[in-house]
Structure 1
Amino acid sequence: MDRFLATVSDVLPIWNTTRAAGLTSYVLLFVSMVAGMLQSFSWMTPSGRKTLNILHQSSGWFGLLFGMVHGFVLFFAQEKGLSLKEIFVPFAAHTRSLQIGLGIIALYMVILVMVTSDWMKQFGRKVWRSIHYLSFPAYLFALAHGVLLGPDTQYREIVIMYVVTAGIVVILFVLRMTQGTSRKHASFAK
């Protein structure tokens, strides 16, 4: 097993891979959040909603995929790697368990949101909508995970990216709550 892990580490620089996958996952989840909220506004045209829904769904699934790669690749790290338990069980990591745990919980929330979205008809709209609202805390947990744990926060550009993306989500969330939505076409009211 050690030989296999060494080979993987030689081919795939683990820490660069996990950082790139984590940042990619965060940006894709941000795009999914924005597209989902925008399509619920009453001023959005039907064709705009359709385009945004495709973007919302595809960026959500790709964000989930990159999030899974982000965590799982750490199993292959030779030094300071994580066990499967530390990767899949929230707060089980021996170091920085809070920060890692937030990322794991965010991942599980996104999995739940994505899977139930594909099976919305089986769950019913009310149940689906309730579960879909988990996307907000999932996004916040992913943001906190990246800011508190991510080594890239040493770079000004990454900090600016986190501030701008979080600001956009907050603004859209406030607008969505205060200005109302088109109930007939809202992404959360399908």
Structure 2
Amino acid sequence: MTSETLWYANRATGAVCLVLFTVVVLLGIAVRLRGRILGLPRFGTVSLHRALSLWATAFLALHIACAVFDSYVGITALDVLVPFASAYQPLWLGLGTVAFDLMLAVLVTSLLRERVGHRTWRAVHRLAYASWPVALIHGVGIGTDTGTDWMTWLTVACVAVVVAACGIRVAHAARAARRTPAALLRTAEGARP
């Protein structure tokens, strides 16, 4: 492959990763809220979340491979795993590495969910909330399409839907937290002789 082909492939896989991981975050929030998507039963939403997570991870692997094999930028395998170690745009590439490392932790614990336990899995899985914006900032900072109309609108749309979904998630959690003490009080009052 030529360096130009790898450059185009890197740009394309980066944009696809943005869209796929955005949808994965949205589906993850829907699963947490026990939502159903497109008339699917709840287990269908969970299955779709898992399947798209694997597809997003595959595109991320392809995105990283294109960057490593492109001799123009000189990114090494070490740069992929160790944040801020690269000579090439260390801040922006380092943020991509941080996002990748966080997603790697989420992926590994998801694959080993039965062995690590639900509580550990959930704690690590929450890193996805940190990984998405860090990856977004990486793309905005290092992406050669940053500032083009299509990439600006794609980025704005992805940010808008994730912010809205996170807002719904936080509002749902706040409502549940307000209901819980009242429900506990009613239960305690009902148990009195």
Which residue identity lines up with residue 14 of structure 2 in the other structure?
Answer: G
Residue 160 of structure 1 and its aligned partner are, at CA, apart by 1.1
Q: State yes or no: 1:147 paired with 2:146.
A: no
In the TM superposition, what is the alpha-carbon distance from 1:174 to its structure 2 partner? Answer: 1.6
Runs of 4+ in 1 over 6 A off after TM superposition: none
2:132 paired with 1:133: no
Q: Identity, % of aligned pairs?
A: 26
- Alpha-carbon distance, 1:153 to partner: 1.4
Once the two structures are superposed, residues 124-170 of structure 1 have per-residue CA deviations (whole angstroms, 9 ceiling, x without a partner) of 11111100100001101111111111111131121111111111111
Q: Which moved more, 1:17-26 or 1:84-93?
A: 84-93
Aligned to 1:31: 23
State the 1:43 CA deviation.
5.6
Name the aligned partner's letter for residue 111 of structure 2: D
Q: Is the Cα contact below 8 Å between 1:25 and 1:62 reproduced in 2?
A: no
Q: How many residues align?
A: 174
Q: SS of the residue aligned with 1:152?
A: coil
Structure with greater Cα Rg: 2
Aligned alpha-carbon RMSD (Å): 2.2
Q: What is the SS of the residue equivalent to 1:79?
A: coil
User: Structure 1 unaligned runs (5+)?
Assistant: 1-7, 183-190
Q: Could you give the per-residue CA deviations for residues 16-60 of structure 1, whole angstroms, max 9, x where no partner exists? A: 011111111121111111011012225648943222212211111
TM, length-normalised to structure 2: 0.81
Aligned ranges 1:55-70 → 2 under 5 Å:
55-70=48-63
Give the equivalent residue in structure 2 for 1:3: none
1:74 is matched with which residue? 67
Partner of 1:16: 8
Counterpart residue identity of residue 27, structure 2: A
**Secondary structure, counterpart of 2:121 in structure 1:** helix
Contact 2:75–2:88 (CA under 8 A) maintained in structure 1:
no
Distance 2:151 2:48 in 1: 23
Aligned to 1:98: 91
TM (normalized to structure 1)?
Answer: 0.82
